[in-house]
Amino acid sequence: MSDGEWHRLHPLTPLLRGGLFLLVMIGILIANLRERLFELFFPMFTDLPPGVMPPDPVDFLFSHNLFLIAAGAVVVVLVILLGVFRLSWRFHTLRIGDDVEVRSGVLFRTHRRAPLDRVQGVNLTRPMVARLLGLAKLEVVGAGLDANVKLEYLSAKDADALRSDILRLASGRRLAEAGPGAVAGGSFVRATAEAVGSGIQGLVEGEDFSDAEPESIVRIPLGRLVASRVLSGSMLWLLGLVAAIVVAASISTVWLLFTVVPTFLAYGAYYVRSIARGLRYSIAPTPDGVRLTFGLFTTISEVVPPGRVHAIEVRQPLMWRPFGWWSISVNRLSGRSSTDSSTDQLAAVLPVGTRDDVERVLRILAPSLPSDGWSEVIRDGVLGPVADDPYVTTPRRARILRPLSWRRNGALLTSDALFLRRGWIWRSLSIFPLARLQSVGLHQGPLARSMRTARLGAHVISGTVQTTVGVLDRDAAVTLMEETARATVGAAAEDRTHRWAG
């Protein structure tokens, strides 16, 4: 499909996109017929005499012989809708050449073109229904708000091929040969039948993306996944909440106990969702970046090209410490607004992993950093201060401001990255590749001034990673900021990741 010509999306697209509309229609129908269905199945609960139906529009249609007209109207509406969707599908075309281009709209035409060297990632999403039909959504992530180019829907094979073509073009390499060919023409019915057949087959066989699936470098056993979710911080909140309600119930009225039920439901849903998301998790290096796959029902597979990760944070909740588990999250451009709930999901790169997992994932997330330095990063940064600690830490005179973590709280600048280490109870390490650092700043309030300390902040694109570390010695912090600023300029000038193959 990436031959520089205009192509259409998969012919089943109108069905899936119109699916929502159909669902709404069915919902309205059911809501209107609710009384009648209730009457039909549970006649003993109503106060009407047996055998008598409540007044209903359907009865009205039957009794006035308007049934044929009504059925005809429904058919006409359906045909018109199908025609409209079909028309909008015909006008929805895409072209992959030097840029990704999408044209859509019948009356109001839009034409979106995204330059390939600014591609931040390519996501392949397969919702449950689309998977049954053998389809997939492709999303080319751009830098900016609502800057993504969405291609929904493509057949899974096309989507996979298109993704590797887009990445190859974006990397600066040329395509070795033309793509496998256009979307299958054929009749609508045959396409449907074929797609459904292969989709069901794929679902049964557990087949996903066929060609050369790279081996995941991290395996998360189910037990660890469940245990890590149960032992997370939200569990503490839940226990606290339950305790508070029990105490309140024992003091006042027992009925308060029932308020626990919705809380449990909400938490249960949250746990099930986050565990289902972590199932089938895989992370693997490819020539075009890190490939991340997760999800049980809705499978999401993303590729993050090199140099698109702006900040990395390794974190350890308190209760994970006995097991030596860590999680990794990143800041990167997702092309979505920060309030979008899926942004958080995409930030978590490693839901839970051991120390070795952390090292392997860090290695592929920041390929520009020297590969021999990671064991020191783990030893000094992740696990905390050891003898001759290279980090600039909180001076002894200011330890009252960081009573527990003052030995650990610190920052380190290497030639490629800035490391901020924090926390004694909740340990975390933030890593900022200098080639992605936007600016660097110092803050100082009156209390910090009296202690002769300052807060160092690394400014990167917004996300979940903590970006500041407080209470550093003032002179050390000033030096660190000056050196970071200088190193950032150098690193940015040498950065070539926008065309990573060149």
Partner 1 sequence: MTNTPDSPERTPLPAEAEPSVRVDADPSPQPGVVASEPTPSRDVPILDEGTFPRILEPRGEGRLPLGDGTWHQLARAYVRVQVISQGAFLLLVLAVAFALQFFLNLQWQWIPACVLAVITLVGLVITPRQARSFGYQLRRDDLVFRRGILWQRVVAVPYGRMQLVDITHGPLDRGFGIAQLKLVTAAASTGVTIPGLTQAAAEQLRDTLIAVAETRRTGL
| Contact set with partner 1 (CB under 8 A) | 118, 143, 307, 310, 333, 435-436, 438-446, 448-454, 457, 459-462, 467, 474, 478, 481-482, 484-486, 488-489, 492-493, 495, 497-498
**Which is closer to partner 1, CB of 384 or CB of 441?**
441
**Which is closer to partner 1, CB of 301 or CB of 497?**
497
Shortest spacing between CB 443 and partner 1, in angstroms: 5
Shortest spacing between CB 349 and partner 1, in angstroms: 19
Residues in the chain: 502
**Which is closer to partner 1, CB of 235 or CB of 401?**
401
**Which is closer to partner 1, CB of 312 or CB of 460?**
460
Which token pair is 366?
């920041």
Shortest spacing between CB 10 and partner 1, in angstroms: 32
Sheet holding 299-304, edge to edge: 149-155, 135-141, 121-126, 299-304, 289-294, 282-286
Which token pair is 164?
């590797």
Element (H or E) spanning 261, and its range?
helix 260-278
> What's the CA gap between 291 and 89, in Å, rounded?
30
Residue 384 Rama label (left phi>0; alpha psi -120 to 50; beta):
left
Shortest spacing between CB 312 and partner 1, in angstroms: 16
Shortest spacing between CB 490 and partner 1, in angstroms: 9
Shortest spacing between CB 453 and partner 1, in angstroms: 7
At residue 372, φ and ψ (nearest 5 deg) are -85, -5
**Which is closer to partner 1, CB of 36 or CB of 499?**
499
Shortest spacing between CB 460 and partner 1, in angstroms: 5
**Which is closer to partner 1, CB of 242 or CB of 485?**
485
At residue 324, φ and ψ (nearest 5 deg) are 70, 35
User: What's the N-to-C CA distance of the chain in angstroms?
Assistant: 24
Q: Find all residues with CB under 8 Å of 137, minimum gap 6, and list them.
A: 123, 124, 125, 126, 127, 130, 150, 151, 152, 153, 154, 159
**Which is closer to partner 1, CB of 208 or CB of 495?**
495
Residue appearing with tokens 């998977």: 131
> What's the CA gap between 419 and 428, in Å, rounded?
10
